[in-house]
Chain A
Amino acid sequence: MDRRIKILGRDVPVILLTIIAITSLASAALLSYYGEVVGTATIEQSVKIDGKIWNQTIEETITGVAGNTYATKHTITNDASQEAQISIVTVSKTGPENYDPEGAGVTVSYGSPGQDGECGDGNDGPAPTSVPAGGSVDFCIYYEFAINAYPGTYTVTTEVQPQ
């Protein structure tokens, strides 16, 4: 009565195969889950400079004379619901031939406009270190050229970084 079937050269009892078949059918009949929700989130950059995001470099051109300081104004906006801590840093300076980045030439510093909203008129404040939730702050970049700065082209790269 002990009936067997030969599978891959071995004798397997029919009763064992029957049990496996029944278990498989029972398992197939039960739902593992009732449904599935796939969430897709597109996140935009919350802190922007002059409305631009990290990969959109802002370019500004100055034509000037050695011995003068030139100021430009920019706006940082924060669309998030929490304050953003920031720091404004100079990441590179290049100049004409013989220019020494550590020596005389161009000095870059940062501040904030005075109450009149203008940069470089003597009423400026310190550079901002945070941007309020849902708000904005202005900041100034000062390019100060020493009177003995070599005439030529200078390039300064500034980044607004998360703290």
Chain B
Amino acid sequence: MRGKVIIAVFGMIFLLMSITYAGILNYYGKIEGMAEVRGPIFYASCESLSQPVVYKLLINDNSTGDCEPRQFTDGNLKWFLSDSLGISSFYPANYTFYVKARADEPGQVLHLELWITDEEGNKKSLICDADITITTSETFSEYSAYCIGDSLTLDKSDRIAWIMTGSALAKKYYIDVSNGNTRIEVSKA
């Protein structure tokens, strides 16, 4: 008899708690945000950091400006340097280069390198490199190439430098950096 009373009392308590609980909202509303995220994009820009070889490499900002094509001769360099990345690591990645270019003479090879630099822009380590062969001389065409970089350990002040080098003597290269035409797209390797 006593056991039945105890069970009945517990049953009543449980029922009362359930009713009380059901009567109060834990939340008024719920928002579920789903984001499809791609890797960052680095855009070569018209903005000069120091004449005549270093320009700004914009991060996820395709407002690169509208300027005359950058040009250089032979084995000279053109640098595009980003701001500090503010991160301490980066995953192994595919780096796809898109370059809108032409050369004085078809068949010229343009060498592309991607470097980690320190805050002052001094080279620290090569991420990866690739070549493209420019086949047009009269009109600009978009060329692409890719390379794979290992995972990176970085200082937060480190920057990325995209360095373009001509490989032919006495030949002129023209790179169209306006309107986000020349860029690097990053994806997971």
Interface residues of A (CB under 8 A from B): 45, 47-50, 52-54, 56-68, 70, 72, 74, 76, 86, 91, 104, 106, 141, 143, 145-162
Contacts and interface: CB of A to CB of B under 8 A. Distances in A.
A159 B25 CA distance: 12
Given A147-B59, A147-B86, A148-B89, A106 B35 contact: yes
B87 A147 contact: yes
18 contacts: A47-B29, A54-B28, A57-B31, A59-B31, A60-B32, A62-B33, A67-B40, A70-B35, A143-B35, A145-B35, A151-B37, A152-B36, A156-B35, A157-B30, A158-B30, A159-B31, A161-B26, A162-B26
B150 to A, nearest CB: 14
A162 B87 CA distance: 37
A155 B34 contact: yes
Given A64-B38, A147-B85, A58 B31 contact: yes
Contacts of B85: 147-148
In terms of DSSP, what is the predominant structure of the interface of chain B? strand
B14 interface: no
B35 A49 contact: no
Interface in B63-117: 85-87, 89-91
Contacts of A149: 37
Nearest to B40: A67
B177 interface: no
A53 B29 contact: yes
A61 B35 CA distance: 6
Given A49-B28, A66-B40, A160-B28, A150 B33 contact: no
B188 interface: yes
Contact of B28 (A45, A145, A155): A45
Contacts of A63: 35-36
Give 10 closest A-B pairs by Cβ, nearest first.
Answer: A49-B29, A159-B27, A62-B35, A47-B28, A67-B40, A158-B31, A58-B31, A154-B35, A156-B33, A161-B27
Contacts of B187: 151
A62 B86 contact: no
